[in-house]
């Protein structure tokens, strides 16, 4: 396998600043004519190698047809042996077959329409080109197609010409005035309905907005449309960034490898992140639409106007844009809740990745297949890295950095170092050490201890350690710059202001190290060394101090502090930082599950987690607490989070320990949970009456009430399973018809029930929504996430459901992806779960390597499993690795896991 290395980057020897494309569309034989204006750079070699693998029909240079002896072709590129040293023009004609393309990369067909996906290297499947992000060109694209079959013809930029041709053909010409890399190119053709609107920018320019969908989906774009307008306004007010073309188009497609794609002026979206109405989408789906619409829109500046020099810099645009979409969602509503959700996602997926053979730095140093690096590390940890600049510099300092970044780099392809330099230079700060966040993989651990001295000083000692990762042993890693937001609470749960004597301050000048000689309720301690001591001087004497550490999750690290259960309960009840409150509960959960696991291993009955139950009881009954926050409090850490850093894992035992805790909560808190669910339901109903709306629509306030209803209901169900299923069975229609959040909430709660009534309810659900692909995804994920003992059999049966298709990524993720996260069945002791998923990887590998590679990550726990499962899993992986037809996508993952 060819490994690409960051250190091998060389600037372009030839540039192609101008491109004219003509697509003559046909489902099986599309031709692409490319006119490339090539400018040799000083000292360019005589030869020119273009990326590409399409069937070459013709090639000419400055109008002269090139004989076959003039170039050499491999499976991946074409080399012209001799090109002029002066600017020249290439004309290249290729032919491709979109209908035969099931990779969903390049130009492909879906439901009779044609769509492209070019990031990162799809453009080269259509024509020959310098298909790398630092080659930025102005594109003009002419599309010629049958007018009846493809009435809508779209590409990037502004429509400059269109008309009819003979034989029922028509054409459209699009011109994008902004130079862009080829990965941002897009083309869409087909029979699509359009929803139009418009937006006036802050400088008074009118932008046309168009949403394209299948005709039957046209009624479901209102929320996405509204979200886009909010995003456009927000980027103006918070970042001063305005949209730059005359039109912004969004196209929804049901067959799509990921969430969405930020092509210039022509975003292409998975239907999952565009279509939403109360009948078919849950509150979480509504929130997902808003955040992904925001994310892709924000890329217009962070990604498109300023792009990446090479793919190693992917986090430059992704980490920054995730940070921006997180801030957008937080500014829209429920900032505290959104922050905790982001932390949950990071810990569940990124911490697990960081502790696996797939661990890599935010800026990877090497890759085989770039598609494998659109990871939680690049995206979510990358966003945390951007957030740390924000924490270190404050909002004003961060915005100064952004302003300088755009002043320096608009229209350029740059690196993560350029971003860091802009942040540092705009604020006069030294951020050299901060660069380690981009090059050192693995989650740092902070071991913290604190002691209250006789003179009243509170002394915190913090030690940072970095783990070994496949790319680098721990001893080769250097201490990182880590912001630790800190506050102190006294024995009554009161926050006490404190000073920091100068001698104990780390002076990173320009950074927001707030605790000076003035008393502060909170400070950002900035770690720069392996071990450091900080002296904090409370302004009012305290009997005892409980520190609140890493407030707001100020750095993506593990933090250990030897809290007593009582201290955690105190933080849970009194901390003014919502993350820290929630985290106190999480720590209690982790302790309780660990105790259960130990008890199970020794065959002793699990102990009652008294402190946890009391703290939760208080919190659920606290009328002042946000219901959405309460709902989060009731969510127990996922298994993958519990495993990070452990060895000899028996996954089934972790599940059993976790379930035992859920049972204990359900029984001890039954009354409180019932009351909470009932209150939330009443509040939701009152709100509906107040607003005089007919159905339960998405609003953040109502969503919060529903979140609490179903977080409670999930536990309530465990109290008397049989009674619950009978009650639900009886009243299902009336409970479910309110909206999809209710319907989904009910079904997910009873989904584990062994009674046949559960099967009947799911069957009714599937019949009702057979014509709604996105709801069918929900059905398949219910089948795959159930803890019923016949789950694997039901999953296997579902493969033959008329609404299931292995070629549709959403379906694969819903059924097989969900099953691979269903701990007790994926990790079944007889190996049936591993064998099933491996078999599907093998099948999908044959036509969609990206999706197959995504599934293969499910095996990344291999080396940390107990020996029996390790053998079973290794067998499956070894079989995959032995397949000659294994794609480089899957091979890279499998070989890394096997090590
Ligand atoms: N940039 C795209 C992701 C492309 C993934 C290619 N495998 C969507 C996004 O992050 O906004
Ligand atoms: Zn993105």
Q: How far, in Å, from the CA of 330 to the mean position of ligand 2?
A: 18
Which ligand number lies closest to the CA of residue 184?
1
Residue 407: exposed, middle, or buried by beta-carbon count in 10 A (0-12, 13-18, 19+)?
exposed
- SS3 state at 418: helix
pLDDT of residue 505: 61
pLDDT of residue 644: 78
pLDDT value, residue 736? 86
Nearest to 797 by CA among 754, 836, 827, 824: 836
Using most ligand atoms within 8 A of CB, pick from 133, 300, 316, 318 the residue to mutate for ligand 1: 318
pLDDT in tens, 236-291: 999 999 999 999 999 999 999 999 999 999 999 999 999 999 999 999 999 999 99
What residue ranges in 539-573 does DSSP mark as E strands? 545-549, 558-561
Q: Which residue has the higher pLDDT, 607 or 444?
A: 444
Average pLDDT, the chain: 96
Provide the pairing of β-strand 413-414 with 445-452: unpaired
Which is nearest to 296 in space by CA: 357, 226, 373, 232?
232
110 DSSP β-pair partners:
113
Ligand 1 atom closest to Cα of residue 257: 7
> pLDDT band at residue 74, thresholds of 50, 70 and 90?
very high
Q: What is the pLDDT of residue 795?
A: 99
Nearest atom of ligand 1 to the alpha carbon of 259 = 8
Ligand minimally distant from the alpha carbon of residue 850 = 1
CB 443 within 8 A of CB 560: no
Sign of CA dihedral 190, 195, 198, 199: negative
Give yes or no for residue 515 having a pLDDT over 60: no
At 51, is the pLDDT very low, low, confident or very high (cuts 50, 70, 90)? very high
- The CA distance from 865 to 879, in Å, is 19
pLDDT for residue 696? 84
CB 180 within 8 A of CB 307: yes
pLDDT of 456 reads 96
Nearest CA to ligand 1 atom 7: 371
Question: Which pLDDT band holds residue 645 (cuts at 50, 70, 90)?
Answer: confident
**Residue-level pLDDT at 728:** 95
Token pair listed for 88? 């020249």
**Rounded CA separation 764/758 (Å):** 10
CA angle 850, 855, 857 (to 5 degrees): 105
Digit-coded pLDDT (tens) for 365-404: 999 999 999 999 999 999 999 999 999 999 999 999 999 9
- Which is it for the CA torsion 752, 753, 755, 758, positive or negative? negative
Distance CA 190, CA 153 (A): 7
Confidence tier at 608 by pLDDT (50, 70, 90): very high
> How many whole angstroms separate alpha carbon 877 and alpha carbon 272?
31
Task: Give the residue among 82, 57, 78, 58 at the shortest CA–CA distance from 70.
Answer: 82
One DSSP character per residue, 698-755 reads --HHHHHHHHHHHHHHHHHHHHSHHHHHHHHHHHHHHHHTT-HHHHHHHHHHHTT--S
- Tell which one of 103, 115, 119 to mutate to probe ligand 1, the residue whose CB is within 8 A of the most ligand atoms: 119
- pLDDT tier, 690 (very low <50, low <70, confident <90, very high otherwise): confident
Q: Which residue of 133, 258, 293 sits with most ligand 1 atoms within 8 Å of its CB, as the best mutation to test the pocket? A: 258
pLDDT at 517 over 80: no
Angle between helices 314-332 and 382-409 (to 10 degrees): 110
Question: DSSP class of residue 129?
Answer: B
Cis peptide before 120 (omega within 30 of 0): yes
Give the Å distance between the CA of 393 and the centre of ligand 2: 24
Name the residue at shortest CA distance from atom 3 of ligand 1: 261
How far apart CA 247 and CA 156 sit, in angstroms, is 9
b/e string for 874-884 if b means 16 or more Cβ within 10 A? bebbeebeeee
- pLDDT recorded at residue 689: 83
The distance between the two most distant Cα atoms of the chain, rounded to a whole number of Å, is 93
pLDDT tens across 102-157, in order? 999 999 999 999 999 999 999 999 999 999 999 999 999 999 999 999 999 999 99
Phi, psi of 548 (to 5 degrees): -105, 110
User: DSSP letter at 880?
Assistant: H
Q: What is the pLDDT of residue 294?
A: 98
Question: What percent of the chain has pLDDT above 70?
Answer: 98
687 pLDDT above the threshold of 90: no
Paired tokens of 105: 């990369």
Q: Structure tokens of 595?
A: 């105790």
The residue contributing the CA closest to ligand 1 atom 1 is 261
Confidence label for 512 from pLDDT (cuts 50, 70 and 90): low
For ligand 1, the distance from its centroid to the CA atom of residue 73, given in whole angstroms, is: 29
Q: What is the pLDDT of residues 817-858, one digit of tens each?
A: 999 999 999 999 999 999 999 999 999 999 999 999 999 999
Q: Write down the pLDDT at residue 508.
A: 64
Output phi, psi for 791, to 5 deg: -60, -45
From the CA of 317, the nearest ligand is 2
Rounded distance from Cα 294 to ligand 2 centre (Å): 10
Q: Which atom number of ligand 1 is nearest to the Cα of residue 258?
A: 5
Question: pLDDT tens-digit profile of 82-113?
Answer: 999 999 999 999 999 999 999 999 999 999 99
- SS3 category, 380: helix
Q: Which of 397, 116, 121, 134 is closest to 261 using CA atoms?
A: 116
Between strands 445-452 and 558-561, the pairing is parallel
| Residue percentage of the chain with pLDDT more than 90 | 95
Pocket test for ligand 1, best of 261, 304, 887 (most atoms within 8 A of CB): 261
Q: Does the ipTM exceed 0.95? A: yes
Distance 261 CA to ligand 1 centre (A): 5
- For position 502, what pLDDT does the model report? 75
Least confident of 65-74, 340-349, 501-510: 501-510
Of 537, 541, 561, the residue nearest 549 (C-alpha): 561
Query: What is the four-CA torsion angle of 280, 282, 284, 286, rounded to 10 degrees?
Result: 50
Question: Which is nearest to 671 in space by CA: 628, 633, 723, 617?
Answer: 617
pLDDT of residue 688: 81
Q: What is the pLDDT of residue 735?
A: 86
Query: Residue 695's pLDDT is what?
Result: 73
Angle, CA of 684, 666 and 576, to the nearest 5°: 60
Least confident span in 36-50, 390-404, 494-508, 648-662: 494-508
Question: Among positive and negative, which fits the CA dihedral 440, 445, 446, 447?
Answer: negative
Distance (Å) from CA 660 to ligand 2 centroid: 39
Helices (H), 310-364: 314-332, 335-345, 352-354
Are 607 and 599 in contact by the 8 Å Cβ rule? The answer is: yes
Atom of ligand 1 lying closest to residue 318 CA: 10
> With contact defined as beta carbons under 8 Å apart, do 730 and 740 qualify?
no
H helices of 169-221, in order, are none
For CA atoms 68, 70, 72, 77, the dihedral sign is: negative
Q: What does the alpha-carbon distance between residue 276 and residue 618 come to, in Å, rounded to a whole number?
A: 36
| Residue 22: φ, ψ to 5° | -130, 115
Confidence of residue 738 (pLDDT cuts 50, 70, 90): confident
DSSP secondary structure string, 638-696? PHHHHHTT--SB-HHHHHHHHHHHHHHHHHHTHHHHHHHHHHHHHHHHHHHHHHT-SS-
513 pLDDT tier (thresholds 50, 70, 90):
low
Beta bridge partners of 496: 488
Q: Is the pLDDT of residue 751 over 70?
A: yes
**What distances in angstroms separate CA 416 from CA 223, 422, 508, 733, one per listed residue?**
34, 10, 21, 53
Record the tokens describing residue 547, joined without a space.
């520190």
Closest CA to 143 of 266, 303, 250: 266
**pLDDT of 504 higher than 70:** no
Ligand 2 center to 367 CA (angstroms): 19
- Find the residues whose C-beta lies inside 6 A of ligand 1: 119-120, 258, 260-262, 295-296, 299, 318, 371, 374
How far apart (Å, rounded) are the C-alpha atoms in residues 289 and 276? 8
Stated pTM of the model? 0.98
Q: Which residues are catalytic?
A: 296
Question: If DSSP codes are grouped into helix, strand and coil, which group holds residue 521?
Answer: coil
Average pLDDT on 537-563 reads 97
């Amino acid at each position: 396998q060819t490994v690409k290395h960051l250190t091998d980057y060389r600037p372009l020897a030839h540039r192609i600043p101008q491109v004219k494309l003509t697509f003559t569309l046909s489902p099986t034989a599309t031709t692409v004519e490319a006119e490339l204006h090539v400018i040799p750079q000083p000292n360019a070699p005589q030869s020119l190698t273009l990326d590409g693998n399409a069937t070459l029909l013709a090639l000419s240079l400055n109008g002269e047809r090139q004989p076959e002896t003039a170039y050499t072709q491999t499976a991946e590129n074409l080399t012209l042996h001799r090109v002029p040293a002066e600017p020249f023009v290439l004309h290249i004609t290729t032919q491709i077959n979109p209908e035969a393309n099931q990779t969903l990369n390049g130009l492909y067909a879906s439901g009779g329409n044609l769509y492209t996906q070019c990031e990162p290297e799809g453009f080269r499947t259509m024509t020959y080109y310098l298909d790398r992000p630092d080659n930025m060109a102005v594109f003009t694209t002419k599309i010629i197609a049958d007018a009846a079959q493809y009435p809508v013809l779209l590409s990037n930029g502004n429509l400059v010409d269109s008309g009819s041709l003979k034989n029922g053909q028509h054409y459209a010409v699009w011109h994008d005035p902004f130079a862009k890399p080829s990965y941002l190119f897009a083309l869409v053709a087909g029979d699509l309905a359009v929803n139009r609107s418009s937006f006036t920018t802050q400088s008074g320019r009118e932008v046309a907005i168009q949403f394209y969908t299948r005709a039957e989906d046209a009624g479901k774009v209102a929320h996405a449309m509204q979200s886009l307008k909010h995003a456009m306004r927000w980027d103006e007010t918070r970042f001063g960034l305005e949209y730059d073309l005359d039109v912004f188009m969004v196209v929804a497609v049901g067959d799509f490898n990921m969430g969405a794609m930020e092509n210039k002026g022509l975003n292409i979206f998975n239907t999952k992140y565009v279509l939403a109405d109360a009948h078919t989408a849950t509150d979480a789906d509504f929130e997902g639409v808003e955040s992904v619409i925001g994310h892709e829109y924000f890329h217009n500046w962070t990604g498109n106007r300023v792009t990446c020099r090479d793919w190693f810099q992917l986090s430059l645009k992704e980490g920054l844009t995730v940070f921006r979409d997180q801030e957008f969602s937080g500014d829209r509503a429920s900032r505290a809740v959104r922050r905790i959700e982001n932390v949950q996602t990071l810990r569940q997926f990124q911490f697990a990745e960081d502790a696996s053979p797939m661990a890599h730095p935010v800026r990877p140093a090497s890759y085989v297949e770039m598609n494998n690096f659109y990871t939680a590390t690049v995206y979510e940890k990358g966003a945390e890295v951007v957030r740390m600049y924000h924490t270190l510099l404050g909002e004003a300092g961060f915005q100064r950095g952004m302003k300088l970044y755009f002043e320096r780099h608009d229209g350029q392809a740059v690196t993560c170092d350029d971003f860091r330099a802009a942040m540092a230079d705009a604020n006069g700060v030294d951020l050299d050490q901060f660069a380690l966040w981009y090059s050192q993989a693995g989650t740092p651990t902070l071991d913290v201890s604190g002691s209250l001295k006789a003179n009243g000083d509170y002394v915190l000692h913090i030690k940072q350690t970095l783990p070994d990762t496949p790319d680098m042993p721990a001893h080769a890693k250097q201490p990182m710059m880590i912001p630790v937001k800190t506050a102190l609470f006294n024995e009554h749960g009161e926050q006490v202001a404190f000073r920091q004597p100068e001698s104990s301050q780390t002076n990173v000048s320009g950074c927001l190290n707030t605790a000076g000689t003035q008393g502060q309720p909170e400070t950002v301690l900035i770690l720069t060394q392996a071990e450091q001591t900080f002296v904090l001087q409370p302004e009012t004497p305290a009997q005892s101090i409980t520190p609140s550490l890493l407030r707001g999750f100020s750095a993506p690290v593990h933090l250990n502090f030897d809290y007593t259960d009582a201290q955690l309960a105190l933080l849970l009840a009194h901390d003014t930082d919502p993350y820290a409150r929630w985290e106190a509960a999480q720590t209690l959960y982790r302790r309780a599950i660990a105790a259960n696991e130990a008890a199970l291993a020794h065959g002793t009955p699990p102990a009652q987690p008294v402190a946890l139950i009391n703290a939760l009881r208080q919190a659920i009954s606290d009328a002042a607490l946000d219901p959405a926050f309460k709902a989060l409090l009731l969510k127990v850490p996922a298994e993958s989070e519990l495993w990070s850093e452990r060895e000899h894992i028996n996954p089934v035992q972790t599940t059993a320990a976790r379930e035992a805790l859920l049972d204990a909560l359900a029984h001890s808190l039954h009354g409180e949970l019932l009351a909470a669910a009932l209150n939330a339901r009443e509040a939701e109903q009152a709100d509906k009456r107040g607003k005089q709306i007919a159905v339960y629509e998405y609003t953040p306030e109502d969503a919060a009430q529903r979140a609490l209803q179903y977080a409670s209901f999930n536990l309530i169900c465990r109290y008397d399973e049989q009674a619950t299923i009978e009650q639900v069975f009886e009243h299902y229609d009336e409970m479910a018809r309110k909206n999809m959040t209710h319907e989904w909430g009910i079904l997910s709660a009873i989904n584990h029930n062994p009674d046949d009534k559960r099967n009947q309810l799911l069957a009714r659900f599937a019949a009702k929504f057979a014509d709604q692909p996105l709801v069918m995804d929900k059905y398949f994920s219910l089948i795959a996430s159930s803890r019923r003992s016949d789950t694997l059999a039901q999953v296997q049966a579902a493969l033959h459901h008329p609404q299931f298709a292995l070629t549709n990524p959403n379906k694969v993720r819903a059924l097989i992806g969900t099953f691979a996260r269903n701990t007790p069945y994926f990790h079944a002791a007889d190996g049936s779960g591993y064998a099933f998923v491996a078999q599907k990887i093998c099948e999908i590998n044959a036509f969609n390597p990206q999706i197959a590679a995504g599934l293969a990550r499910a095996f990344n726990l291999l080396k940390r499993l107990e020996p029996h499962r390790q053998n079973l899993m290794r067998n499956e992986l070894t079989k995959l690795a032995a397949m000659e037809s294994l794609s480089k996508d899957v091979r890279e993952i499998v070989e890394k896991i096997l090590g």
